């Protein structure tokens, strides 16, 4: 599939995907290379790029492996050097041995010489590379970012995601061509891997539905998945992110909302909103978006059912695709319109507009209530 991928310039969809990777890699590195007691006992930091390619396109745009290397360098430039004493390893695999040879020389020519981060190269089919490296990923002291930029849909299956979700401190980013699976779901080789019978696979929201399917397959395991959909010509594919950590999810969602300020989820108007992508409209302040309206309705129901505190609210908002900056906006509007109220533990009214939705917040500070008569 797509043999020409690295022998032409990356298209806009690929550039966007790589931008998402780059921005998340930057956030992830800054968490795991900065020593913090909150991370627990981390003894090694690993980034795995299982479908690495040769390092870039014909116009010298960097691919995922060179982006990883650059982002580690960026961290060093900002912080003087890597102060942490944890070894950092970049694992690069591609089934095509020729691509790995090209990549080796590209990585070597950009290597800084201090030796704080080390590349390791493999040329194997994903399934074999994954089995060979899984013991490294599941080591209790390791922190891992696993990137799986596959062609097609045969490699990163729900079973692979399930296994990665069992590993501590392991975040994942993978590519999935969702509309391709919708089209060929009944083909025997795919039907044996994905049982999509009865799923609502509407064209525009298909990538979100595929992410929901992966989530459903994880069962009760507390591992958070979030999608970003990319439309390219008539196909819809995208990135799926996973992490057991709410801070990881917050960082990924923040990257997504920067790219799509209206819904945080796509490079196209997924739900047919009249104002999507309009920078300024005559209706400033009156624009509504289906995703935000639905979120507010879900919030109201959640508040009525659970009377959550700020910690429960932080998790609920992230699990519904809203980082604190965006969730605060909706909560503020609901507070101002008298739908909800916030109270202190002693029952007194809380300070207006202070919601304490923050990963570093470990205390229960306020509770949310639905106001009488609010709908
Ligand atoms: C979409 S490209 C990856 C692009 C890369 N992330 C970049 O930014 O340049 C997919 C790569 O996976 C490799 N590949 C395809 N099937 C594979 C498999 N089953 N196992 C390992 N590598 C595979 C291809 O040779 C190709 O280089």
Residue 61 has pLDDT above 90, yes or no: yes
In which region does residue 264 sit, left (phi positive, over 0), alpha (psi from -120 to 50) or beta (all else)? left
In a domain, 197, yes or no: yes
Residues having CB within 6 Å of any atom of ligand 1: 5, 18, 51-53, 63-64, 94-96, 99, 125-126, 149, 151, 155
Phi, psi of 256 (to 5 degrees): -65, -40
Q: Could you tell which of 7, 19, 47, 95 is best to mutate to test the pocket of ligand 1, judged by most ligand atoms within 8 Å of the CB?
A: 95
Instruction: Give the residue from 259, 280, 311 where a domain finishes.
Output: 259
178 shares a domain with 133: yes
pLDDT digits (tens, 9 = 90+) for 77-121: 888 777 567 789 999 999 999 999 999 999 999 998 888 899 999
Strand segments, DSSP code E, in 36-154 are: 44-49, 88-93, 117-122, 142-148
327 shares a domain with 205: no
Tokens representing 108 are 């070597």
Residue 1 has pLDDT above 60, yes or no: no
365 shares a domain with 223: no
**Tokens 């998945």 correspond to what residue?**
225
Give buried/exposed letters for 173-193 (b at 16+ CB in 10 A, else e): bbbbbbbbbbeebeeeebeee
According to the per-residue pLDDT averaged within each range, which of 42-46, 72-76, 300-304 is highest? 300-304
Residues 6+ apart with CB under 8 A from 279: none
Instruction: Give the residue from 239, 259, 279 where a domain finishes.
Output: 259
Atom of ligand 1 nearest to the CA of 63: 8
Q: Could you tell which of 1, 16, 51 is best to mutate to test the pocket of ligand 1, judged by most ligand atoms within 8 Å of the CB?
A: 51
In a domain, 165, yes or no: yes
246 shares a domain with 305: no
pLDDT digits (tens, 9 = 90+) for 142-178: 999 999 999 999 999 999 999 999 999 999 999 999 9
Quote the number of domains for the chain: 2
> What is the 123 CA–ligand 1 centroid distance (Å)?
11
Which pTM value belongs to this model?
Answer: 0.94
In a domain, 199, yes or no: yes
109 shares a domain with 231: yes
Residue nearest ligand 1's atom 26 by CA: 53
Residue 375 has a pLDDT of: 75
Residue 65 has a pLDDT of: 98
- The CATH number of whichever domain residue 164 belongs to comes to 3.40.50.150
Strand segments, DSSP code E, in the chain are: 44-49, 88-93, 117-122, 142-148, 170-176, 224-232, 235-243, 340-343, 367-370
Q: Which domain holds residue 327?
A: 290-370
> What is the 94 CA–ligand 1 centroid distance (Å)?
6
Looking at 18-27, 71-80, 96-105, which range is the least confident one?
71-80
In a domain, 276, yes or no: no
- Looking at the chain, the whole-number percentage of residues with pLDDT higher than 70 is 95
In a domain, 244, yes or no: yes
In a domain, 284, yes or no: no
Alpha-carbon span 350 to 368, nearest angstrom: 10
Residue 282 has pLDDT above 60, yes or no: no
Residues forming beta bridges with residue 45, ordered by sequence position = 88, 143
């Amino acid at each position: 599939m797509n043999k020409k991928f690295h022998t032409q310039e990356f298209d806009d969809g690929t550039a966007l995907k790589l931008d998402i990777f780059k921005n998340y890699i930057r956030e992830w590195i800054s968490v795991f290379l900065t020593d913090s007691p909150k991370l627990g006992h981390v003894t090694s930091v690993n980034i795995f790029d299982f479908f690495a390619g040769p390092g870039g396109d014909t116009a010298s745009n960097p691919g995922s492996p060179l982006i990883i290397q650059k982002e580690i360098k960026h961290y060093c430039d900002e912080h003087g050097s890597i102060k942490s004493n944890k070894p950092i390893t970049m694992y690069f695999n591609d089934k095509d041995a020729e691509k790995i040879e090209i990549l080796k020389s590209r990585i070597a020519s950009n290597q800084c010489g201090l030796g704080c981060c080390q590349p390791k190269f493999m040329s194997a089919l994903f399934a074999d590379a994954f089995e060979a490296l899984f013991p490294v990923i599941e080591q209790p002291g390791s922190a891992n970012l696993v990137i799986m930029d596959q062609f097609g849909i045969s490699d990163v299956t729900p079973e692979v995601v399930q296994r990665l979700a069992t590993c501590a401190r392991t975040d994942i980013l993978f590519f999935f061509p969702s509309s391709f699976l919708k089209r060929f779901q009944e083909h025997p080789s795919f039907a044996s891997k994905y049982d999509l019978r009865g799923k609502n696979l509407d064209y525009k929201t298909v990538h979100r539905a595929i992410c929901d399917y992966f989530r459903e397959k994880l069962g009760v395991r507390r591992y958070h998945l979030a999608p970003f959909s990319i439309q390219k010509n008539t196909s819809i594919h995208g990135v799926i992110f996973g992490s057991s950590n709410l801070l990881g999810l917050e960082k990924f969602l923040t990257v997504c909302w920067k790219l799509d300020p209206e819904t945080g989820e796509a490079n196209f108007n997924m739900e047919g909103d009249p104002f999507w992508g309009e920078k300024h409209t005559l209706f400033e302040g009156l624009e509504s978006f289906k995703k935000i309206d639905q979120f507010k309705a879900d919030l109201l129901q959640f508040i009525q059912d659970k009377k959550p505190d700020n910690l429960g609210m932080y998790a609920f908002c992230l699990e519904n695709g809203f980082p604190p900056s965006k969730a605060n906006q909706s909560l503020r509007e609901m507070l101002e319109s008298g739908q909800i109220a916030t109270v202190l533990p002693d029952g007194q009214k809380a300070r207006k507009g202070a919601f304490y939705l923050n990963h570093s917040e470990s205390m229960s500070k306020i509770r949310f209530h639905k106001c009488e008569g609010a709908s």
